[in-house]
Chain A
Amino acid sequence: MGFGIGVTSSSMGPRGVLEDFSSGQDERGKVFDRHIVSRMLAYLKPFRLQMLLALAAMIIASGLTLLIPYLLKIAVDQYISAGDLPGLGRISLYTAGAFAGLYVSTALQQYLLSWVGQRALANMRSALFRHLQKLSMGYHDTHIVGVTVSRVMNDVATINDLISQGLITLLGDLLILIGIIVTMLLMNVRLALLTFIVLPLMVGVTTWFSRRARGAYRETRTSVARVVGDLAEDISGVRVIQAFGQEDTSQVRFDQLNQANREANISAMTLSFIFLPAVELLGVLATCIVLWFGGRFVGVGTVTVGVLVAFLSYVTRFFTPIQELSRMYTSMQSAMAGGEQVFRLMDTEPDVEDAPDAYEMPPMRGEIHFEDVTFKYRPELPEVLHDVDLEIQPGQTVALVGPTGAGKTSISNLIARFYEVTSGRVLIDGIDVRSVTQQSLHRQLGLVPQNSFLFSGTIAENIRFGRPDASDEEVERASREANAHDFIVSKPDGYNTRVLEGAVNLSVGQRQLVCIARALLTDPRILILDEATSNVDSLTESLIQEALGRLLKGRTAVVIAHRLSTIRNADLICVVDEGRIIEQGRHEELIQRGGLYADLYARQFSGD
């Protein structure tokens, strides 16, 4: 800002100040973690050249920032006081040149730093995404999706901002601060020391503010979250509210939360309204010190008017670096905490890894064999499968039935080798699944998940998911076989209908049909089918049954079964209970045997 005498107002508004000083974590964490910073720096290494250039630009910019008030001093003392017009012209030109240099160097520095920062950020996100693809189901079971997303999107951004931009800016601020202090000391030690009285006051005020601001700002966040939560509940329960005539009660409750939010905001902002004038007051105090003492020194002759003017200019730019530094302190804490999480994710080893000598799974016949398999999801958890032995012939349909938590899903997960067995072996066509590569194994497997998961994208893209190169004809053929074609073409955009997030624009039954088409298109040798439990209307139900019939035909299929028809037609029913297969056989055999299966089957009919 030119020679900027007497203008110390922050460029940020009161809310900006509040937010900027409140970005820290709740608990006091580490401000600087060498390991995190050095690992982060590794991502910047490819951009060494740009960073060095930015550093050079920063040093030039800092130098120029310091030089400009000094030029002003020379102008006043040597030319204006001396009445040297040509000299004034020269020094003005130099100053203009310095400003032009400042423009080029700051623009260059900012551009380089943001460019490198964004590039490194994009690279880190890619690296994390790649890593996530390698992680096993064990990771996904134990981590909430939202948290992982926030690691890849937010935490990475915070740490990256800090390292790629923050550190250099920090360096620049320090450089300018030290430069100002040194220059002032060089120009006049006594006046400089007197002016520095303001420094500890400034640090004190800023620390006070950033401490208070954090708590107050957090309060505004929680109070608005409560408002959102209450309103969301009102909206989702609006039918009940109206049915029970409770509109007024819900308004009273909302009003309280709304009020609390208003108060929290006002008191947080009030802090800013104290802080900003205080900063300005300190700035003017420094100016006053310079004027009052400096004025006397001018009289004594120890200080020239030019030095006084230069001091006035330096004093005003003292404050920005101090505020920046204190702001950095808080954001460093949160960045380090975030960085730790990011690298922890990066360091998570997949539970299931290809053996060094793993080979491609040869084309399968589809014979599955469990040999004395015991299994725990994690070492510290109880065993979920005990000594399971199971033999499935190629082309057989096997239904797994049993209560929730009995181990049906675990059995199917082990076939796909989503987890490693704790002991025993899982063999496909006599080959231990651990000796082949996971991808080659999965390529010959198909899955129809219980929740009928679809991705956002078009219906065609979803069907093509397992074989992105499939032609339109193939997609259509698979849809026809899956009884999905008719409903798809009845949509306005046909196969190009977009599946919205959560597939809300498809009915539950339609989602299942699309999942069946998706599995059909890959023509897997072994199919894992986790039947959906949700009710669908009877017409759709019969379409699903028919489609499933086609899907299962000619493949080995392991079905986590809830539908009677699937169970009745199964070649083998395994009743799983408490981690063991306690009964095996066909429907009629099991009914005749009069065991658990027959028991449960009979009980249902007495109910109605």
Chain B
Amino acid sequence: MTATTVAIPDSPRPNGALLRAFGYLRPHWKLTAGAYGMMFLIDAISMINPLIISWIIDHTIIKQNMGMLSLAVGGLLALVVVKGVFTYFEGRWTEVASQNVAYDLRNELQRKITLLSFSFHDQAEAGDLLSRTIQDVERIRFLTGRATFRVIEGTVLMVITAVVMIVLNWRLGLLAIAAMPLLVYQSIRFGKRFRPLSLQIQKQLSVLTTRLEQNLRGAQVVKTFAQEDAEIERFEVENQKWFSLSALSARLQSQNMPLMNLIANIGSVVILWFGGSMVIQGQMSLGEMVAFTTYMGQLLVPVRQLGMVLPAITIAGASAERIFQILDTIPEVHDSPSARNVNFGEGRVAFDHVSFGYGRKAEILKDITFEAEPDQVVALLGLTGSGKTTVVNLIPRFYDPTAGSIRIDGTDLHDIKINSLRSQIGIVLQETTLFTGSVFDNIRFGHPSASRREVEDAARAAQAHEFILEMVHGYDTRVGEKGVTLSGGQKQRIAIARALLMDPRILILDDATSSVDSETEHLIQLALENVMQRRTTFVIAHRLSTVQKADQILVLDKGQIAARGRHEELLASSSLYNNIYQQQLKPKKHKVIETISQGGDD
């Protein structure tokens, strides 16, 4: 998934974003505090254990004090059991806290995404939004959970181990600790070289995958153009690139761990040599020397973890930014403080000198003025990009005009609560989106409490009832992902039923003729006629019959109303209308054969 930037303001401070991410731990501070408390207890036990072993060797085994041996061994076991219990709670609490952070963030993101206006979604890419909500949140979860925890735990453990070693025997302690800066240095150096390389490898791997995928998708083209050999060569080039990068990474990786071990091990040898000498000279006991080697081993673990976790924190910073970019975006269309719930009366819609443009781009609508009388059918007509869709999108406030005002029954749209406005407008969009779930649930999507009877009535009016019953599970048939595949015509009729069920005062239709056979087309036609009765209707027209029935036709050209009137009037008066009529409305002859070949589509 390539991350593309959405037109969202850049957040100025990455560190601010990180801090803010940590702020999400606040509601779960008890868990976090508990986990850190556990951590100190665990570290304490980790420190004591080697001392006990050392004490056992010196005072019980060498001195052969068997009573004390049993006691000490029992104590050691007991401590480990206690430590195990602590570790369990430490881990679980950190995990629960960080999973809660992820949960909260994802809920907030989903909420924001569904609230953001069309203008946001026009530019955002689904894949990008998904990767922010899933991957980026996961990185934040890691950061607020184990990552930070490990950094702190590792640092604490390192410092305590160092202190204990110095206290135990300052000369030997200092000698052993001398290895630490080296370890840290190597760990950071490796991280710096390895991270960019591994990103490069990931990228190259996805290039390779794309090559392969494209080759398979275009297999027919590859074959007909006899380009098999050229394709092989292209693949080889990318494959070789991947190999070179991987080989380089193999070299880096294969050296790193053994080198870290070597550095620590040299520390162990130093302990053996100097410690051994001290034991011989009576300045140190054998047990203490054994404890030292154990501490040396303990030093390596946090260093190794720091090397792995630190890069993750850097990435998390970028992730936090990407998440907050979305959370900070304010929906362009939102309720004004003075907005109230309004019940539409007759459904008179008036556009008053309305203009509209997206951001910096040129104006899409210029000075649109018209009035739709109650129960009228207004047809919008024009070439692609003339602004038809934009006009109807302004009515439910999917966008706000940049100038001018729109009124329904005399009330400015800004004075109506968005929810109240949209609940009284029915919309059948050009691309019919159905949701995963039953047909039944899809029809009552906008009115989740509708009864079975109401749903069936709506489906009947939309000419959908019969084909729904013909499916094996009738209204309970699942559609969408993992459900049955419906044809374009069937989807369209379900969408019409969905809009009908809302019994809207105002109706917006995009009656695009997707490639359906003439029988289906006839059914859709009937459905639309049912729907339009007793409502103020706006239709983006593609059918002659619709236009003929319209009370008012608005012909749009480059964002302006170029002509208006009824069908016959416009035929007589407007050359643009005649043009469009020839191209779009007049019986589409080349559709004939398409219909033949697409027969059985529905």
Contact = CB atoms under 8 A, between A and B. Distances in A.
Nearest to B383: A537
B587 A608 contact: yes
A107 interface: yes
B146 A561 contact: no
A99 B266 contact: yes
The secondary-structure label for the interface of chain A is: helix
Contacts of B28: none
Interface string A567-608: 100000000000000000000000000000000110111011
A244 B61 CA distance: 80
A528 B600 CA distance: 24
B266 A96 contact: yes
Nearest to A603: B518
A134 B300 CA distance: 53
A576 B418 CA distance: 54
A520 interface: no
Contacts of B587: 604-605, 608
Contacts of B88: 273-274, 277
B91 A284 contact: no
A533 B584 contact: no
A99 B597 contact: no
A596 to B, nearest CB: 9
Nearest to B111: A251
Interface string B51-67: 00100110011101010
A152 B208 CA distance: 10
Interface string B87-109: 11001100110011011001100
Contacts of A538: 583-584
Given A118-B243, A296-B66, A565-B590, A456 B110 contact: no
Interface stretch (B268-276, B316-324, B368-376, B526-534): B268-276
A461 to B, nearest CB: 10
Contact of B502 (A236, A239, A244): A244
B454 interface: no
A280 interface: yes
Given A132-B215, A404-B598, A7 B592 contact: no
A446 B224 contact: yes
B390 interface: no
Contact residues on A (Cβ < 8 Å of other chain), bracket: 35 or more
A538 B212 CA distance: 36
A126 interface: yes
A238 B126 CA distance: 11
B384 interface: yes
A1 B446 contact: no
A106 B256 CA distance: 11
Contacts of B515: 533-535
B453 interface: no
Contacts of A468: 227, 230
A247 B114 contact: yes
A453 B224 CA distance: 13
A562 B261 CA distance: 71
Interface stretch (B5-13, B286-294, B350-358): B286-294
Contacts of B583: 538
A225 to B, nearest CB: 10
A438 B223 CA distance: 9
B279 interface: yes
B562 interface: no
Given A265-B95, A402-B597, A276 B87 contact: yes
B477 interface: no
Interface string B128-152: 0110011000000000001000100
Contact of A153 (B205, B220, B251, B502): B205
Contacts of A118: 243, 246-247, 250
B297 A251 contact: no
B279 A114 contact: no
Contacts of A535: 515
A258 B298 contact: no
Nearest to B495: A240
A115 B227 CA distance: 32
Contacts of A215: none
Contact of B220 (A137, A238, A309, A438): A137
Contact of B91 (A137, A273, A401, A560): A273
B3 interface: no
Interface stretch (A19-27, A72-80, A382-390): A72-80
Interface string B407-435: 00000000000110011010101000101
B596 A401 contact: yes
Contacts of A528: 224
A102 interface: yes
A431 to B, nearest CB: 17
Interface string A177-209: 000000000000000000000000000000000
A100 B297 CA distance: 17
Contacts of B498: 244
Contact of A562 (B433, B544, B594): B594
Contact of B61 (A134, A148, A291, A418): A291
B92 A266 contact: yes
A510 B223 CA distance: 23
A49 interface: no
Contacts of A291: 53, 56-57, 61, 69, 72-73, 76
B218 A455 contact: yes
Given A122-B240, A501-B210, A418 B64 contact: no
Contact of A294 (B61, B218, B276): B61
A122 B242 contact: yes
Interface stretch (B77-85, B183-191, B334-342, B465-473): B77-85
A134 B223 CA distance: 9
Contacts of B262: 99-100, 102-103
A430 interface: no
A2 B113 contact: no
Interface string A231-257: 111111111111111110111001100
Interface stretch (A83-91, A336-344, A482-490): A83-91
B428 to A, nearest CB: 9
B290 A233 contact: no
Nearest to B598: A404
B293 A2 contact: yes
Contact of B113 (A106, A234, A455): A234
Nearest to A243: B427
B497 to A, nearest CB: 13
10 contacts: A2-B293, A5-B53, A243-B398, A246-B446, A251-B111, A258-B106, A291-B53, A305-B61, A447-B220, A534-B515
9 nearest A-B residue pairs (beta carbon): A277-B84, A2-B268, A244-B446, A114-B250, A466-B225, A110-B254, A564-B590, A273-B91, A111-B254
Given A122-B240, A244-B427, 8 more contacts: A106-B258, A145-B217, A148-B212, A245-B418, A251-B107, A270-B92, A453-B220, A562-B590
